[in-house]
Structure formats: C-alpha cells, structure tokens
Structure 1
Amino acid sequence: MRFLVLCREPRLYSCQRLLQACEQRGIHLDILDPNRMLIKLAVVQGQPIFQLYYQAGEIYQKNRPLELLPEYDAVLPRFGTASTEMGCRVLRYFEAKKVKVLNNSTAFSLARDKWLSLQALVAAQIAVPASSFAGELCAVEQHSNLHNTPLVAKTLAGSQGVGVMLAESKQNAQSVLAVLQQANLGYLLQDFVAEAKGQDIRAFVIGDRVVAAMQRSGEEGEFRANIHLGGKATKFELSEAEQQLAVNAAKAVGLSVAGVDLIRSESGLLVLEVNASPGLEGIEQATGLDIAGLMIEHLINQR
C-alpha cells in the first residue's frame, strides 16, 4: 500500500510518527506539501481524467519539471491553517477518485472555521461557551457589549492558541476588536470561563471512541493551555458521558479523527473547539500511547 500525508513540513513530530507507523506495517508513505501540487482535470472520450503533479525544489527554481504523482491508497490531511484552501482542493481531488481520506474536505474546511464549527456544534445540541459573531459594519462597541468582561476574542482561522486574546475590560476589548476589524480579520467573541483556571482537556477521537485524553494547564499568568505556548499536559481519564460528548462533537463537525477541546464551567463541560489535525506529540507523551499507529489502523480498516 502507498499512503500520502499532506503537510508542508515533513520533519514535524506528527509526520515522523505517522511515517514510523506506516513503516512498521509495510506501507510506503509520502509526505508532500499541497501548495506544490498542480491538479489537472479533463474528460476524454466520455471518461474523467484526474492527474496530480508535484513540483519539488525551491520556489525560485522555476524550471524544475513537474512530477506526475503515483496512485495512492489513502490520504491523511495534516496541513496548517495557511494551507487550508489548497489542501482541501487536493483532498477533493482524491475524494473524486474514491481514494480513502482520513477526514474529508467538507469536514476539514468546517473545522477550520471556528464560527461555522460552533454553529454545527450548537445545532447538534452540544454546549459551547456563549459566542457571538458580527458583520464588518457592526460597531465593535455594540458587539463587545453582548458579553461581560473579561471576554475572549478569537480569529476564525487561528491554531495552537495563536489569534486567541483575552480582553480584561470593555475599553481593551474595543481596542482589540477595532484592530481586527480594520485588518479585515474575521473574529468571534466568547464568554471567558474563569473557573477553568487556565486548564482544558484535549480528547483525541478516532472513529467512534476517545482513544486518549490529556489535561492541559497553562503557564502562570497564561489563560491559554496550549502546549505550543508552554502549557503542560498530563494523562486524564474521562467518564463515559464525557467521552460520548467528545465523540458527538467530532461527529457534529463530520470528522473521523479529531482533537476535541473541552473546558469545565459552572454549568458543566463545554466544547471549546474541534481540531481536524490534532498534534500527536503532547498526547503521546502524556499518555504513552501509540496514537499514530491507531490512526493508521483506523485508515486501513476504513471502508
């Protein structure tokens, strides 16, 4: 078998772990940047033709030839937010060819939009922090007045805690929102869950079950618990009801593999967001589990 990981940086921990998991199972794995790909579509004598090319090398090497990529048995999307548009176009190419993908383009694109994914969660009756989104002509003063301070502002396409800001006062919130609005950056506002005390829970969902969970704690004075921002992770046991909540959240967005971020509030457990390309380093180190291997096994058995 031959698998493909769509990722800009093959040296990342997650990519290397997926490579190891494939090698252990005798699977050849390519790790390629979707931004270097060229897709060609045609209909010849009534038959659809799909071709995917790749241009290796540096961007300034304009005369490097295009390489026609081989056929793949399965594709794993691991591209970052800056590559979402092209990455999803490549995913749709493989879907049209009936190639197995671990998270389809529709679900991946939905998960990458924080507001649309929140709407999907609420439509599935899954509790989230009170959130709001405003059009570009809506005054930031009116928007911020919908929430008590402190409040959280999030850009729609941020990841790893980037683009998540805490506004301690209405004046501070309005200053932040004015900058985001002027920069034409879409954002949403959320109630700040102070009782969480800088902690959240990452549940790693594969298929119909939570295979691992960790509790993340932010550094002193940091309200975000992301590991990339210095947060610490420890293994965590979720109750059956909490595991089902995480699975339901992943299903609401349409993902077969997801990192579901949960936060404890006075009103119960809330879903912060659902990640379509969750990192493996923190969860594997915290739990000691072979998450990469579980992902590959799930993809092999996927019909």
Structure 2
Amino acid sequence: MIAVAPAFGLRLEWVNDESMCLGHPRVPSLEGYDALLVRSRSYTRGGLIATLAEAAAIRTLNTARAIGICQNKAALRTVLRSADIPVVDFRLVLSRGDFERCLTELPLPLVLKPVFGGMGRRVTLLRHADTAPSVYDYVEDLGHAFEQACLVEPYLGDTSVRCLVVGDEVLGAVEFTGDAGDWRSNAALGARARPAAHDPDLRKILGGVVSALGPGVHGVDLFRTPDGYVVNEVNHAPGFRALASATGVDVPSAVARFLREVLA
C-alpha cells in the first residue's frame, strides 16, 4: 500500500503502534497526518489507538466504533443480528455453569472460541460430550477473565467464505478449506483458498455489514448453510495475501483509492 500510494496522490508512512504515546489533544506522533489507517492486529492496541486518534481530530479507518465491535465477537454478532443480518448461532460462556448449559441447548459437534482473539488461535472443536468438560478445564486455568470469555457455537464444517470489502465495494471472495490435519478454515493456519462467486445473496449481506459498521476495510467471514449465508466474524485489519493470490485482485490499489475518496 505504501508503494502504490503515490499513484493516487497520497503519501503513506508506517507508524509503529508501540511508540505513538497518544493521549494529548495535539499528538506529536501524528502531527501532519490527515488520517490513520489502523492495521494493528492487537486486540487492545487497535481500538485504543483509534479512540485516542479520533479524540485528537485524526480521521481513522476503520473507525474506533467499528474496531471495537469487530474485536468483540459477542458484540459483533449482536449488532449484526439487530440489523437483521444472519449470524452464526452462539451462546456466551463466562463460567462452567454456562458451558454445561450450552451442551444441553446445542447439539454436538460444537466450537469453543474466545470472544477476543483471532487467527484461529484457541478455537477448539468439541465432538464428544464426555471430553468437553476436560477441554473447559484449560479455559478455567487461563489467568484473566478477558481470556476466559468464550462463545460456543454449532460446528458448520471446515469450509468458510472470506470476502474483502473496501468502502462499499466487494473486492473479492474466496473459499477457505482447512488444511489436511486441521479442520480450521483460517488462512493464517494454512487453509487452502480458491475463488468464490459474489452472488446476490452474499452481496446483500455484505451491504448490510457495511451499513451496520460504516464504510472501511473489512474482512467478512461467512459460512454457507442450507438456509443461506451466515456471518461468522468481521476483521477490522484483514490480511489479504491469500485472497489476492487466489483472485488476482489488486488490494493495495483499492485501499489507496478508497483513502483518496475519504480524504477528498
């Protein structure tokens, strides 16, 4: 993105998110910048940086509100469901009591995942009722309530659809299938990718996501079900190497073009 920016009349510079020292209304580390494109993958830094940058009158992409929603899987699904966007069914688990009740309300197999987290880490497939309680032992041994907050949801297979949306434009869609020996359909874990069609139902859902979160750079993960697509997650700082390789889409130019439109 830095390399293609001059072609769009922009200058992009990388700023280390560990040395910005935000908080003052006139932020020295952001002086002279028109906007901040948040690419931090940290589940604490991105939202905090965007919040304080906006307070200092620096435009951020994505917005602090959108980042905050996307970072919290329970909040994201609640916001989208309230906007009549289909999402994966889920139960919030804050205790062993919650977990045990989930096992009676939802049929196995189930997926246990952290509310705050990404890249497929700590996402666990529960196939058998007799081993599920021992899996939850590991959650209870985590040191912080932040890490212990989990979702339990139905297992919808090892294939998912990732769509990249920039502004309100669907740049591309790929289908990820878990690599041999790993059921998780996550690019960071080596899942196989192939191009997927942008059918009208998919575009309608993606349009709803943009309406709910605001225009930005969003990686939207979905599952196909017999009843149609359901949204699994929305990433506020999506990686795009696998999608670009599978589809041939020029993602950096699309992001730069969107930045130019936002700053116009």
* Uncovered stretches (5+) of structure 1, i.e. residues with no partner: 1-17, 42-48, 54-68
- Cα shift at 1:95: 1.6
1:129 alignment counterpart: 88
Give the Cα–Cα distance (whole angstroms) in 1 for the partners of residues 149 and 180 of structure 2.
29
5 Å matches for 1:104-119? 104-119=63-78
Give the match's secondary structure for 1:302.
helix
Task: Tell me the alpha carbon deviations over residues 17-41 of structure 1, each in whole angstroms, 9 at most, x when there is no partner.
Answer: x112224335332212222221242
Q: Return 5+ residue gaps in structure 2 as ranges.
A: none
Does the 8 Å CA contact 1:144/1:174 hold for their aligned counterparts? no
* TM-score of the superposed pair, with normalisation by structure 1: 0.79
CA distance in 2, matches of 1:214, 1:139: 35
Higher strand share: 1
Number of matched residues? 259
- Specify the code of the residue in structure 2 equivalent to 1:152: V
Q: CA deviation at 1:217?
A: 1.4
1:53-132 matches, cutoff 5 A: 53=29, 69-81=30-42, 84-132=43-91
Distance 2:130 2:20 in 1: 46
Q: 1:167 & 1:214 partners in 2: Cα distance? A: 26
Higher relative contact order (CA 8 A, sep 6+): 2
Q: CA RMSD in A?
A: 1.9
Quote the Cα distance in structure 2 between the aligned partners of 1:152 and 1:254: 29
Identity across aligned pairs (percent)? 25
Find the aligned partners of 1:181 and 1:118 in 2 and give their Cα distance.
24
Q: Distance in 2 between matches of 1:232 and 1:137?
A: 35
Report if the CA contact (8 A) 2:112-2:126 is conserved.
yes
Distance 1:295 1:139 in 2: 42
Give, in angstroms, the shift of residue 137 of structure 1. 6.5
- 1:249 counterpart residue number: 209
Judge conservation of contact 1:140–1:178 (CA < 8 Å) in 2.
no
Aligned residue number for residue 172 of structure 1: 131
User: Structure 1 residues 264-273 or 174-183, which shifts more?
Assistant: 174-183
| TM-score after normalising by structure 2 | 0.90
Q: Which has the larger radius of gyration?
A: 1
Give the conservation status (yes or no) of the 8 Å contact 2:93–2:152: no
